[in-house]
Amino acid sequence: MPESPYLVIDLARVRENYRALRAALPSARIRFAVKASPVSEIIELLAAEGAEFDVASVGEIEQCLGLGVAPERLCYGNPIKKARDIAHAFARGVRRYAFDTEDDLLRIAEHAPGAEVECRFLSAAPQSTTPFGAKFGCTPTDALRLLVRARDLGLRVGGPYFHVGSQQTDPAAWRIGIEQAGRIAEGLADKGIPVASVNIGGGLPISYADRAPGLDVLAPVIADAAAEYLPETAGLVVEPGRALVGSAGTIHAEVIGVRAAPDGRRWIYLDIGRYNGMAETENEYIAYRFRTERDGDPVDEAVVAGPTCDGDDVLYQRTQVLLPTTLRAGDRVQILDTGAYTASYSSVSFNGFPPLTVHVSGAERE
């Protein structure tokens, strides 16, 4: 048994999730957000399934290319990038880029001449579970102006791009974004610029402790909105991360100790915390489910904390977490649906604890 904590990814489940999304949105191009789980075996599996890849850095570009992914299947989707990184990506064959400012557009025009571009706008979608805030995206009006400018700079216009926020649980969010994208597409058509694609980003949710709407709910909303608001020339692009890999991962951890605090609350300390895999518990946004060797014993509320000497390394103290009252040091704990944004968020060596290790199970190919 490997030394805990460690993450196990079920490749068969990744494949199942990909095929379910492809069946739900058969006309959409699926572009995996590598940042969610940059595991080589996942990239190889999804490449074999026909996926494209949303890459956020030169490092992710090199990883994908090193695994045999053709550069035309990559989109440099991070709107925050240095000129030299754009030049590097272009030299390596990447011909598709996202942007949300005129400065970045000009860098792309200079260092990736003739490339295809998507302009990210800030949609009016409701707030998601883990929102981006105003970090990314221009106004829809600016998106129209900048895509016209892209054409004038000799770039190929892909189309508008929006993201409804990570772990978005309101189906109306996609309808709102697609309607806004449709208005941008109309404005481009008036300028003689056909829209080749509308990128609806990621944000497709999965169920954690709380249930989230499934593809059976979300896909019809997306398809109906696309049929109503988008021109026939515009194909959909969807950029899932969590939806493909989240449910495929299980973290295996160990109880380090159990403490009765002066306020009477029970604290359970695990060998994994916010700095070595559980970053998405910040603000207790994501409520993971736990499975223990003592399930079936009486349960009570517990504060769950990580192993470091940092006072912020607490996973849950407001969220109600019910764990067996018999848990003790040395007991094994599994944290479910942890395939996304765990190992990729793990620190290098905070407090000397190593990054979360990853193991894969299941056949890579059928």
Query: What is the structure's pLDDT at 278?
Result: 96
Please state whether beta strands 266-270 and 303-305 pair in parallel, antiparallel, or not at all (unpaired).
parallel
What span, in angstroms and rounded, lies between the C-alpha atoms of 47 and 52? 7
Query: What are the E-state strand segments in 65-179?
Result: 74-76, 96-99, 116-120, 156-161
Q: List Cβ neighbours of 40 (8 Å cut-off, separation of 6 or more).
A: 63, 67
Query: CB count, 10 Å around CB of 201?
Result: 29
Q: List Cβ neighbours of 102 (8 Å cut-off, separation of 6 or more).
A: 146, 149
What span, in angstroms and rounded, lies between the C-alpha atoms of 356 and 277? 6
Note the pLDDT tens digit of each residue in 90-100: 999 999 999 99
The DSSP secondary-structure symbol of 56 reads: -
The H or E element containing residue 141 is: helix 140-152
- Reading the block at residue 207, the tokens are 């169920």
Give the lowest-confidence range in 117-126, 244-253, 290-299.
117-126
Q: Using pLDDT thresholds of 50, 70 and 90, give the confidence band for residue 28.
A: very high
User: Mean of the per-residue pLDDT values for the chain?
Assistant: 96
The H or E element containing residue 105 is: helix 102-111
Q: What are residue 300's phi and psi, to 5 degrees?
A: -155, 165
Note the pLDDT tens digit of each residue in 281-334: 999 999 999 999 999 999 999 999 999 999 999 999 999 999 999 999 999 999
**CA dist list (Å): 213 to 130, 170, 171, 208:** 16, 8, 8, 11
Domains of the chain, start order:
11-246 (3.20.20.10), 247-361 (2.40.37.10)
Query: CB count, 10 Å around CB of 190?
Result: 10
Is the model's pLDDT at 279 over the cut of 60?
A: yes
Note the pLDDT tens digit of each residue in 345-365: 988 889 999 999 999 998 644
The catalytic residue positions are 309
Please state whether beta strands 52-55 and 29-33 pair in parallel, antiparallel, or not at all (unpaired).
parallel
The DSSP secondary-structure symbol of 147 reads: H
What span, in angstroms and rounded, lies between the C-alpha atoms of 193 and 157? 8
Q: How many residues does the chain have?
A: 366
Is the model's pLDDT at 165 over the cut of 60?
A: yes
Q: Select from 278, 355, 265 the least CA-distant residue to 314.
A: 278
Express as a percent the part of the chain with pLDDT over 90.
Answer: 92
Query: What is the structure's pLDDT at 102?
Result: 97
Is 37:249 a contact under the CB 8 Å cutoff?
Answer: yes
